[in-house]
Amino acid sequence: MKGTKGLRRFIDYPRQGRKGARRWLPSWRLWVGAVGLGLISLVGLFAVVYATVDVPNENALAGQEATVYYWADGSQMVSVGAVNRQNVTLDKVPDSVENAAIAAENATFYSDSGVSMKGIGRAMVNMVSGEETQGGSTITQQYVKNTYLSQDQTVTRKVKEFVIALKVSNQKSKEEILRGYLNTSWFGRGSYGIQAAAHAFYGIDAKELNPSQGALLAALLKGSEQYDPGLSKANHQRAVARWKWILDRQVATGTMSEKERAKYTRFPEPRAPSKPTSQAGQTGYLVDVANKFVKAATGLTDKDLARGGYRIHTTFDKQRTHRLEKAVRDVRRQNLDPEKRAADNYVEFGAASVRPRDGAIVAVYGGSDATRHFSNNADTSAVPAGSAFKPFVLATALQDQADGPDDPAATTDIDQKARQAAEDEATGDLRSALMMGQSPPFVQAGKRLGLERIRDLAVSAGLREESMARLEQTFPLGTSAPSAIRMASAYTTFANSGLHADPYAVSSMTYDGKKIQGFDRAAPKRVLDTGVAQQVSGALGVLGLRTLGPSNDVSVPMPVAVGRTEPGDRMKSAWFIGSPAGGPEPGPSTGTGSQKWSGVRPGLTAGAEPTTAVTMFRNKPGAPELLPMQGVGGDDKGLGTTLPPKVWSAYRAAS
């Protein structure tokens, strides 16, 4: 029979002459052929990509636009930038600094082809799988990314980086690449390039850097947000460890002798971080708060923001911010005299105003001047809340009472009445203790309710979990250390009838005219029953009237007694939180009866006026702990507790 008999197929699959599973198993020839075809295809694809991807023009970093921040009314607050960079030639950079950078980032720089197959392979796998990207790029690849490409972490950008790095490695000398790398790398503190970094961290030219200082700057190449020792204690620890490793690495790679290495045992502390003069007063603090929100919402880094070109519209109210600053300044001038009283030295204030209905941060006081006092007192988590935390304990007790027993069917009417009576008495004790500044009832409430429940409610109301103290017996007394921003935000829950909106500082943001996503606001969430929030507000309103005296003003004060601890302990902070009324007068409620309290002036919507937290503490620069407050302001009680209420009153009076 004629036909195909005796002829072999071009691809013998499924395999002839085989039965069962063996018919479907490829032969070694098929495997070799498939692998060979795949390799040929990859080589061909790479050749096409290599031929079509050109080395683009260098990014004009020094000519990029500044980033502009706007007030809530749309007027310009400040223009930050443009890129802080000064190009220098390699003869202006000590060999030890070059060696430190190479040892830290790419020890084979002078012998490699400009790319790392292992590093780019790992990065691409991680990006495709959604895992966190990792380092591993050569100095040439980093130079290419800094100079020719965006900072996007995408497969396409990585492929371009790889191809351009190969071409650049063939077109430029190693010295040219190293010079470009050192001039375009991000070191933090707004500085691109080794020259700007030398001035930002040590106040000297790059040519004056010694090997020890050069090793620290090389450590920053891994990420200034994690390794700038001036930003936090954790950063300092990481910076010291990496500084030591880089010096040791230079010995291992033969660019530093052991004798030379032995000279550098003391960490080269850089100068304190500073702000440009354009960010004097409160501006620098406002920019810091806005940047934190931007980074959380978009994933951008300080490095990205420093490149400029962004338009950031904030929630900050210009007039309220100026009034808050003036209130602190006036109270300080009228009540503190450091030359007369030693206790008046190192006194710091922090304050923030948050709008209850949506969480907008409308005003911040971060310190005397952002160019001189770098730490933002409104956003620090180092000041214990003291009795300002007690309303969250009261709220937990009231909410527990409103929720009732976990299993109502398991209790008789008599049991429920007995339970109700006991809870009424305990809650009444808490109310009385809040008014009198007593602590034992709150310790007992912690035992009865559970410290975890109190913590969880406080966090749900807006305090950060990482600012919560250890769950010990004194936890209900305010050992946690929330920021003024978060404290004001949490208190809005009481003013907003139990609803809480997360605080935010940026309403919108654009780059090159295009809107950046990530700024949509979630609806406020229910944290407390309306009646519970109103009862807490009522108790605080009564306390406020007792503290400040009767007032016909639109705002009903929600102050808290000073942060007391046990008798004999040294008080370290004073707080005052003032808030608007939180809605219409509540009617009778079960358990604790009705509360009469002021409503909102006709024409105003509940939640339109901000809740403001004011904190005061003493902090000597470099000291590990806060100083005691006895005698501040010459207070008869020796506690300085009258000053935060005075700040709030002055701020409110100026509204």
Assess contact for 305 and 594: CB atoms under 8 A: no
Q: Determine what percent of the chain is predicted with pLDDT higher than 70.
A: 72
pLDDT at 428: 80
Distance (Å, whole) CA 296 – CA 27: 54
Residues 164-201: b if buried by 16+ CB within 10 A, e if exposed: bbbebbeebebeebbbbbbbbbbbbbbbbbbbbbbbbb
Q: Which of 211, 197, 221, 193 is nearest to 88 (CA)?
A: 193
Residue 135: which pLDDT band, with cuts at 50, 70 and 90? very low
Residue 105: which pLDDT band, with cuts at 50, 70 and 90? very high
Distance (Å, whole) CA 227 – CA 250: 19
Assess contact for 392 and 477: CB atoms under 8 A: no
Q: Which of 22, 173, 184 is nearest to 88 (CA)?
A: 184
Distance (Å, whole) CA 576 – CA 287: 25
Residues 362-374: b if buried by 16+ CB within 10 A, e if exposed: bbbbbbbbbbebb
pLDDT(171) > 70? yes
Distance (Å, whole) CA 115 – CA 124: 14
Assess contact for 105 and 142: CB atoms under 8 A: yes
CA angle, 616 as apex, 612 and 618 as ends, to 5°?
Answer: 160
Q: What would the pLDDT profile of 239-284 be if each residue is shown by its tens digit? A: 999 999 999 999 999 999 999 999 999 999 999 888 778 888 999 9
Under DSSP, the state recorded for 585 is P
Q: Are strands 67-70 and 310-314 parallel, antiparallel or unpaired?
A: parallel
Residue 581: which pLDDT band, with cuts at 50, 70 and 90? low
Cβ neighbours for 261, distance < 8 A, ≥ 6 positions apart: 247, 248, 250, 251
Q: Which of 199, 169, 175 is nearest to 187 (CA)?
A: 199
Assess contact for 193 and 86: CB atoms under 8 A: yes
pLDDT at 354: 97
pLDDT at 144: 85
pLDDT(567) > 50? no
Q: Tokens for 466?
A: 């990482």
The residue with greater pLDDT, 356 or 584, is 356
Distance (Å, whole) CA 561 – CA 573: 11
Cβ neighbours for 296, distance < 8 A, ≥ 6 positions apart: none
Under DSSP, the state recorded for 352 is E
Distance (Å, whole) CA 352 – CA 485: 5
Q: Which of 517, 511, 533, 509 is nearest to 607 (CA)?
A: 533
- CB-neighbour burial class of residue 389 (10 A; exposed 0-12, middle 13-18, buried 19+): buried
pLDDT at 14: 67
From 57-71, 171-185, 435-449, 523-537, the region with the lowest mean pLDDT: 57-71
pLDDT at 217: 97
Distance (Å, whole) CA 125 – CA 629: 56
Report CA-CA distances (Å) from 636 to 215, 345, 632. Answer: 53, 18, 10
Q: Tokens for 499?
A: 């609803």
Show the domains of the chain with their CATH numbers: 1-47 (no CATH), 89-261 (1.10.3810.10), 361-405+456-653 (3.40.710.10)
Write the Ramachandran bin of 386: left for phi over 0, alpha for psi from -120 to 50, otherwise beta: left
Residue 500, helix vs strand vs coil: strand
Q: Look up residue 429 and give its amino acid.
A: D
Q: Which of 615, 554, 651 is nearest to 319 (CA)?
A: 651
Residues 608-644: b if buried by 16+ CB within 10 A, e if exposed: ebbbbbbbbbbbeeeeeebbbbeebbebeeebbbbbb
- Residues 589-609 have a mean pLDDT of 34
- Residues 18-32 have a mean pLDDT of 66
Three-class SS of 52-116: HCCCCCCCCHHHCCCEEEECCCCCEEEEECCCEECCCCHHHCCHHHHHHHHHHHCCCCCCCCCCC
Q: Tokens for 454?
A: 């109190």
Three-class SS of 284-325: HHHHHHHHHHHHHHHCCCHHHHHCCCEEEEECCCHHHHHHHH
Quote the radius of gyration of the chain (alpha carbons, Å).
32
pTM summary value:
0.74
Q: What would the pLDDT profile of 199-248 be if each residue is shown by its tens digit? A: 999 999 999 999 999 999 999 999 998 999 998 889 999 999 999 999 99
Q: How far apart are the first and last CA of the chain?
A: 105
Under DSSP, the state recorded for 135 is -
Find where tokens 């796998």 sit: 125
**Can you point out the beta strands (E) in 572-610?**
573-578
Residue 618, helix vs strand vs coil: strand
As beta bridge partners, residue 353 has: 363, 612
